[in-house]
Amino acid sequence: MEEETDFLNEGISELLPANTSKFGSNPKYLSEWLNGLPLTNLGITTQTVFNAIKEINQLDIKPEHRLELLEQLYETTEFILTGLRKHYYKKQLPLVEKTRDIAQLAITLLKTIAQGYKVIIYQHIILGKKLGKKQLAIAIQRAIHFFSCCTVEGYIIYNNDKPGIWLQIHQLHQLASEKNLQLLEIPEPGNEKKPVKTNITSSYKRILLIAAMDPYRLNIGEVLEIFDEIKQWTQKCGLAGNISPEYKSNSFIVRPDMDAPPIIYNSKMAKQSESFFILVTKELTQSLESELKKLVRKGLFRKKENSSINRKITSRILGAFGVIPKRAHKRTRIDKQVNTIIGLTSIHKIISDEIAPDSNDNNNRATFAVRDLHGSRTRSRARDVWDSALTGKEKKATFDGRHSLTISMDDSTPQIPVKTKVVTAETWKLRDISSGGYCILSDEKSAAKSQVGDLIAIREINSHDSPWQAGVIRWLKQHSRKTIAFGVQVLFPSGTPVITKIKDKDGIYLNGEKSILLPAVKSSNLGSTIITPTLNYRVGSEVKIINGHKIACVVLTKLNMSTGNFCQFEYVATSKEENLPIGKNSEEMDFDKVWNSI
C-alpha cells in the first residue's frame, strides 16, 4: 500500500500552522476576499489568486476546511484561465515569448490548484485525518480534472506533456478504484439549483480520449473544442482488462504504472506493462456515427431537431479515431539543413520565380476588377485598379468595345509604389526521415507561422537544381522554448505553379488564384492532381488552368485531401486551347503527358 500511495508525498512541503494566515484562521475570510478581487484587471487578479492558492496549500488545516476553500476558488480559477487563454488560444506557432510565458503561467496555476486538492488526499490517506467518503471523492475528481486541464493547455500550444502529470492522473484513478469511489456521483461547481453530476471515472476517461486522439495532429484550437464536446460521451467508452479481437481496432492501451498517455492497441506494448488495461471506443464511435446520420436526415427545410452535438467537432473526433495509423515506416536519424517554405501562396511564388522569374506576373498579382454594368456577360481581362499605379504612361482616357476604361497619366504624375511581400525560404534542421516523410525542426529566429494542415515545401540547402518536395504538416510539437518540431507527410516531389480560374453558377470564370499542378504518382496508381485554395473549389467545379500562354479547362472529379488550408483534387480535361500541347481525351482519365508539358 505504501508504494501505491508514494505519489501523494510528491510536491508536499511541510505544513505551517493555520494561525499564520487569515485563510486558515477565519473560514469566512476567503468569500469576502474573493468579492473584493479586481476582476476587470486580469493580471492583478491572477497574481493574487495564484499566491492565495499557494498559501492555502502550505497551511496545516483540516482537510474539509481546505476542500471548502479550494471549492470557493474553483470558479475564479476557471474565470482566470478563460482570460489567459485569449493570449495563446488559436495562435499560430511559434508563439512569441510573452505569449508563451502566459501559457506556462496558466499551466502552473492549474497544477497548483490540483496540488491543493492532492494535499487533502495526502492528509487523509497518509496522515490519517478524518474525511468523509464523498469529500474524498470530490478531492480526487477535482485533482484529476485540474491535472487534465494542465495537459490540455499544453496540447493547445503543442507542448510536450509535463513530467509526472500522467502518472499522477493514473494513480489518482487507481486510488479511487481501490476505495470504490470511481463511480460515486459528484456535483460540479456552478449551478447549485440544477447541479451537473460527474464521477471520477468520467473525468479520467475524458482526458484519456483526448490523448488517444493524438492532439499534436489536430488543427489549432480543436483540442479544447473536443475536450468540451467529449465530456458528454465518456459513458460510451469502457475500461477493460481484456478484449475480444474485433474490438482491438478501436482500442488503446492505458499503462497506469507509467508516466505516459494511452497508445494504440498493440499486444507487444501491452506486455511491457504489468497492470495495463484497455480503453475501448467502439461503442463511442458507433454512437457518434448514429448521431451524425440523424443530422443528415433532417434535410434543409425540415423542422430542426434538438441535438446536443456539434457536427463539425463530432466529425473531427470520428476522423481522429479512424485515421490514427501505426507507424508504417522506420525512422532514420539524420542531421542536415533544409530550406523550407510554408503556405500555398509562398510556395507558388518561390517555384514560379525559379522556373521563370516574373513570367506569370500578370496572372499572379491580385486583381480588383470593375464589374461590367452594361449587361455584357463576356469577360476578357477585367481592368485592374493597380494598372494605373503600375505604369502611369497611358496616353489618354479611352473606352474600348467592352466598356473598359483606360486612365491616362503622364510621366510626371507621381506614382504610388506597389509594395510586394518578399518571400524567402528559411533554413531549418532535418531531424529524421522515413519513406513516408520527415521530422524537421524550425530555426529559433524563424518568422514563419504554421499550423497542422499547412502546405510546406522542403529542399536540401544549396541544392538549387533539385525540385522542391512538397508535403502537408501532419503534427506539431513544441521542441524547445523557441523551436517547433514538424511531422511532414510528403505529397509530391515536384510541381508546376499555375493560375486557376473557377467558373461560377452564371458560367463566368472568376479571378485567377494560385494553384500547383502535381505529376502522377505511378507507384500509388495516382493520376495527376492539382493543389488549390479551399474557398469555392469542390467536386464538379469547372476550372480553367493557366500556365503562361497555355490553357486547359478541366472538371474536378475527386477530392483526395482537404486540410482547411488547401485542397487536392483529381480532374479530367474537358477542352484545350490552341496553344496547349495535344494530349489524351477526358474519357481515358490519364493526362500525365499533357500536364507534364505545361
pLDDT one digit per residue (tens) for the chain, 598 residues? 455 677 888 878 888 888 888 887 776 889 889 999 999 999 999 999 999 999 999 999 999 999 999 999 999 999 999 999 999 998 888 888 889 899 999 999 999 999 999 999 999 999 999 999 999 999 999 999 999 999 999 999 998 888 999 999 999 999 999 999 999 999 988 766 677 889 999 999 999 999 998 888 888 888 999 999 888 889 989 898 876 666 666 788 899 989 999 988 776 665 656 678 889 888 888 888 887 777 655 544 444 444 556 777 777 777 767 644 445 556 788 888 888 999 999 998 888 888 765 444 444 443 333 334 344 444 444 443 333 333 444 444 444 444 444 444 444 445 555 555 667 888 899 888 876 788 999 888 877 888 888 999 998 887 777 888 888 998 888 888 778 889 998 887 778 899 999 998 888 898 999 999 887 766 566 778 899 998 889 998 999 999 888 888 999 998 888 888 899 999 988 865 544 332 333 333 343 433 233 3
Q: Mention every residue, 6+ apart, whose C-beta is less than 8 A from residue 481.
A: 97, 100
Residue 74's alpha-carbon distances to 168, 189, 207, 259, in angstroms, are 20, 7, 19, 26
How far, rounded to the nearest angstrom, does the alpha carbon of residue 301 sit from its chain's CA centroid? Answer: 33
Q: Mention every residue, 6+ apart, whose C-beta is less than 8 A from residue 162.
A: 107, 111, 150, 151, 154
Separation CA 464–CA 77 (nearest Å): 54
Neighbours of 303 (CB within 10 A): 6
Q: According to the model, what pLDDT value does residue 398 have?
A: 43
C-alpha cell at 122: 495526502
Separation CA 173–CA 140 (nearest Å): 8
Angle at 87 between CA 81 and CA 91, to 5 degrees: 120
Separation CA 456–CA 472 (nearest Å): 6
Query: No. of H helices and E strands in the chain?
Result: 16, 22
Separation CA 507–CA 131 (nearest Å): 75
| Burial (CB count <10 Å: 0-12, 13-18, 19+), residue 179 | middle
Separation CA 114–CA 118 (nearest Å): 6
Q: 294, 280, 179, 297: which is closest to 234 by C-alpha? A: 280
143, 172 in Cβ contact below 8 A?
yes
| Burial (CB count <10 Å: 0-12, 13-18, 19+), residue 58 | middle
Separation CA 472–CA 155 (nearest Å): 20
Please provide the distance, in angstroms rounded to a whole number, between the alpha carbons at the two ends of the chain: 73
